Amino acid sequence: MTPIRGPSLTLRLTLLFALASAFVLFLLGLLIGNAVERHFEEQDLDVLTGKMQLARHVLERKPDSQPKETLTQQLDDALTGHHGLIVAVYDQNGEMLYANEAMVFPQNLLSIGATPRREQPVKWNSNDGQPWRGVSSMVKGTDGGGSYTVAIATEITRHEHFMTSFRQTLWGFMSLATLAMGLLGWFVVRRGLLPLLAIKRQAAEITANRLHTRLPVEAIPRELADLADTLNGMLSRLEESFQRLSDFSSDLAHELRTPVSNLLTQTQVTLSKARSAEDYRDILASNAEEFERLSRTISDMLFLAKADNNQIIPNREAIDLAEEIGDLLEYYDVLAEEKSIALSLSGSGQIVGDRLMLRRAVSNLLSNALRHTPNEGKVTVRVDNNREGRILVSVENTGSDIPTEHLPRLFDRFYRVDSSRLRTTENSGLGLAITQSIVLAHGGDVGVNSEGGKTRFTLSLPCAHQ
């Protein structure tokens, strides 16, 4: 089943670029449209304000006894030559005193009660659908006249038609501009992602046989350099892991081939002719030793496989290290007496961990130390609390120094300093690797030092109170 993939990065960036462009163009269109609308409003307001001043001049000098016909004649004379304007004058009782044309002004225009501000004219549509813009003002006569409300309006049909056509053109242009910006964004994104596509092609060419290949960071843009460094780091880890796995597979095949070859050879020799019961008993005893070696190697490999997958879950219990190590020294005392090796233990400390696992880890170190300590040598175990709240367990033995180049690999599986040394059942090359896995599972670490005729392995473990 083909997995469902999300939108490509090119599509996402193109859409984002187009949306951002559309948003900016939309704001720009609103700004331009409002500016043009404001311009027409200012033009209309200038005309209306001028006519308002003429009407105000006439009404302010009108006496209270002046006939209505005289006021009409004066206003007609003042407004002569101004077409498209409608002027109406109302007295303080709301009775119309003058109107050059029939017009029903909106109530919100007539009831303002004070001189309107220039920037706030009133806009409305008449009964026949024609758009109008008007202003009104309260005028008080200075020659004994009363108070009047003057309303002046102008038709803005041409302005409205122009604004409608202008907005259609503007929004059409912005739609085309958004489309063009989207296409341009797609082209820019495609060009900008070419280095990423180059990384993809180079990464696709890396196989198990070419894990040494690295991406050329110097030829990659700065924004992708961190990605390239991360991929190169991943390739380095993969190469190291692959090499370690390859070496491990080779070593494991060699380790298992030896006992299997011995078993096969002994069996073939045994079957080549009739033998006595005593001969068969000796051969079976020898085979049993080889089977024990195979069983021990397989068990150790299963343990290390669990450790690699973080499946080792130590039990949590308080452990007195001095007591546990003392029991182990008693167990190895017989082997030490055979080689006249002196065993000693000093210090004390408590940790929380798995008793059996830790016994196995220390036991591997003691077995390794006794095996490489010459006759009449010395093995010393110390348990110390350091200043960082850690318990240090050191196993030190006398003997030949381990060459410096071998120290970093002592905890690798199947690694032996002397590759030509006889492979015995006591030494499968996994003891130190198992010790390291156990210590790491307990939140500690292990180190080794070899100089001056002494080799010291040190386990660092967290204290019981941490």
Mean pLDDT computed over 346-369: 89
Whole-prediction pTM: 0.51
**In angstroms, rounded to a whole number, what is the distance separating the alpha carbons of residues 363 and 413?**
17
Q: How confident is the model at residue 93 (pLDDT cuts 50, 70, 90)?
A: confident
> Whose CA is closest to 88, among 122, 57, 119, 52?
52
216 or 429: which leads in pLDDT? 216
Per residue in 172-208, pLDDT (tens digit) is 998 898 899 889 888 888 888 788 788 878 888 887 7
Structural domain including 446 reads 317-462
Element (H, E) at 302: helix 277-308
Residue 72 domain flag: yes
**In angstroms, rounded to a whole number, what is the distance separating the alpha carbons of residues 88 and 341?**
127
Residue 366 domain flag: yes
**In angstroms, rounded to a whole number, what is the distance separating the alpha carbons of residues 148 and 141?**
8
Do residues 379 and 342 lie in contact, with contact meaning Cβ atoms separated by under 8 Å?
Answer: yes
- Count of structural domains within the chain: 3
Do residues 143 and 63 lie in contact, with contact meaning Cβ atoms separated by under 8 Å?
Answer: yes
Question: Is residue 2 scored above 60 in pLDDT?
Answer: no
Do residues 373 and 450 lie in contact, with contact meaning Cβ atoms separated by under 8 Å?
Answer: no
Q: How confident is the model at residue 309 (pLDDT cuts 50, 70, 90)?
A: low
CATH of the domain at 139: 3.30.450
Do residues 358 and 391 lie in contact, with contact meaning Cβ atoms separated by under 8 Å?
Answer: no
Helix ranges restricted to H, 152-221: 157-192, 194-204
- Mean pLDDT highest for which of 171-185, 237-251, 281-295, 414-428? 171-185
> Whose CA is closest to 412, among 179, 245, 181?
245
B/e letters for 357-392, b = 16+ CB within 10 Å, e = fewer, are bbbbbbbbbbbbbbebbeeebbbbbbbeeeeeebbb
Same structural domain for residues 22 and 154? yes
Same structural domain for residues 295 and 146? no
Residue 369 domain flag: yes
Same structural domain for residues 456 and 323? yes
Q: What are phi and psi of 455, to 5 degrees?
A: -120, 125
Q: How confident is the model at residue 365 (pLDDT cuts 50, 70, 90)?
A: very high
Residue 177 domain flag: no
Category of 84 on φ-ψ map: left (φ > 0), alpha (ψ -120 to 50) or beta: left
- Residue 325, Cβ neighbours under 10 Å: how many? 24
Same structural domain for residues 299 and 367? no
Same structural domain for residues 321 and 253? no
Residue 263 domain flag: yes
